[in-house]
Structure 1
Amino acid sequence: MSDNFENAKVLDDEIKFTLTYIKAAVNNASSWSYLSGLMDFSSYAEHPEIIDFAKECCLPAGTKELDISKSAETPQALAFLAEANVALIDEKKAVANSLQIARACYERLIAVDPIRRRLWNHKLHELLNVNAGSL
């Protein structure tokens, strides 16, 4: 394993490695945190497969289309998906519904992760205040 994350191949290999571990334990906070850290060396816009992966992790069993308000109770995936969409907005590379996805994730997190409800409320209010003109 290398720590030369500025090298695109090394970064891509680490991302694939991390996604494999997340698949094995979707609610393992360490793996999601590591993936977030890897993204400090790249842009979410350059790795749309990561956002798609997070969406898949949020799918309830037996469904193929994501309705975040009825997502699986996977706080780590929801938090990552929210933060990825916020990053896309910050990078000025947001897709048409990035703001709505981030908002829906935070609203869902308030329900499924009651221990950190105040954190998710704060992040939701911060998102809405910063992007008030976009709503």
Structure 2
Amino acid sequence: MDEFSSSPLYKDNADWKDVTPIYPSKNEEVAVKIAVTEDFIDAFAYFRAVLIKNEKSPRVMALLEDCIRLNPANYTVWQYRRVCLTELGWDLKKEMRYLDDIIQESSKNYQVWHHRRFIVELMGESAVCDELRFCSEVIREEEKNYHAWQHRQWVVRTFKVPLDDELTFALKMLLIDSRNNSAYNYRYFMLTLHDKTEDKDRINIEINLAKEFIQNIPNNESAWNYLTGLLITNGITSDSNVVSFVEDLYETTPEDKRSPFLLAFIADMMLENIENQTAAEESAERAKKLYKTLQSIDPVRINYYKHQSLLAQTMLIKSQTKVAAK
């Protein structure tokens, strides 16, 4: 704390003698009894008081820091801080340094990231480079920090950050951990943001990247999901090179070593074949065999595989009905 809080408790601080604290009522305590410390009760009693007084001052900003320290997820405290700093013309760079420290201590707090977004909006373009750098630091400390990835998405979308640099960043994170679903998601987000999902050359690059990761780690579910996402618009059997890659991987992998994600991908290919009336009967039989195998090697999803097996049979009947009706 700064010069406004020379005493541990606000009720003992001469600088706050002009404020009458508002403590929780007996009814409030009965409704939700929460074990809190004396300094928590003290700080929030004074926060209630300044909120009612609508006071906006440096000492209130210091009080809010104490309240945030005691409960960093309190939305009302953060919201009032935004009101105060706006009216006070607060030093935004100082506020960002404060947020750096808070996020280091509480990196999965929705409120602090929301507050950071507000400050960045006030700072504008000048904050972009520092924000990307800060997100990188947080993500490197915890590679799947949802809040940091989401904040980075917001920054690049809001300030139209170029594609290539962000694809490079995502690739670096994938090289560190090729199972990092957040990095795949971010990479796909960048492609959609820059309207690259219809760019065949770009998509081919991404498909080859996914295939490379799958080749290295066949049990990498994130890479399989990314590959599916890249193909889903036109169908997962629409790229003959992918079909060949998957079938080759199936043939060259010993039966007891085959990834469940490989088998599931091929089964989905078979469902697509049935829908397209491409060797429908053979595809249905293969799909059902694959789903039966998956029930034994991936029992967590057994109900899903049973459902998919029934779906294959249902799709086959519909396909045969259509053929017969012609």
Q: Indicate whether the TM-score tops 0.5.
A: yes
Which one of the candidate residues 225, 228, 237 is aligned to 1:36?
A: 228
CA distance, structure 2, for counterparts of residue 21 and residue 74 of structure 1: 13
Deviation at 1:80, TM superposition (A): 0.6
2:209 is matched with 17
CA distance, structure 2, for counterparts of residue 88 and residue 9 of structure 1: 25
1:131 is matched with 316
User: Unaligned 5+ residue runs, structure 1?
Assistant: 63-69
For residues 47 and 15 of structure 1, do their structure 2 counterparts lie closer, same or farther at Cα, with a shift above 3 Å needed? Answer: same
Say if 2:236 is the partner of 1:51.
no
Percentage identity across aligned positions?
22
Deviation at 1:59, TM superposition (A): 3.3
Deviation at 1:76, TM superposition (A): 0.5
For residues 45 and 116 of structure 1, do their structure 2 counterparts lie closer, same or farther at Cα, with a shift above 3 Å needed? Answer: closer
Say if 2:305 is the partner of 1:109.
no
1:99 is matched with 284
- Matched to 2:248, the amino acid is E
CA distance, structure 1, for counterparts of residue 290 and residue 302 of structure 2: 12
Q: Secondary structure at the match of 1:94?
A: coil
1:67 is matched with none
1:120 is matched with 305
* CA RMSD in angstroms, aligned pairs only: 2.3
What is the TM-score normalised by the length of structure 2? Answer: 0.35
CA distance, structure 2, for counterparts of residue 131 and residue 101 of structure 1: 12
The number of residue pairs the alignment matches comes to: 126
Structure (1 or 2) with the larger CA radius of gyration: 2
Deviation at 1:45, TM superposition (A): 4.0
1:66 is matched with none
CA distance, structure 2, for counterparts of residue 84 and residue 130 of structure 1: 13
User: Unaligned 5+ residue runs, structure 2?
Assistant: 1-166, 168-189, 321-326
- Matched to 1:33, the amino acid is N
Q: Is the 8 A contact 2:237 2:269 kept in 1?
A: no
For residues 93 and 18 of structure 1, do their structure 2 counterparts lie closer, same or farther at Cα, with a shift above 3 Å needed? Answer: farther
For residues 60 and 13 of structure 1, do their structure 2 counterparts lie closer, same or farther at Cα, with a shift above 3 Å needed? Answer: closer
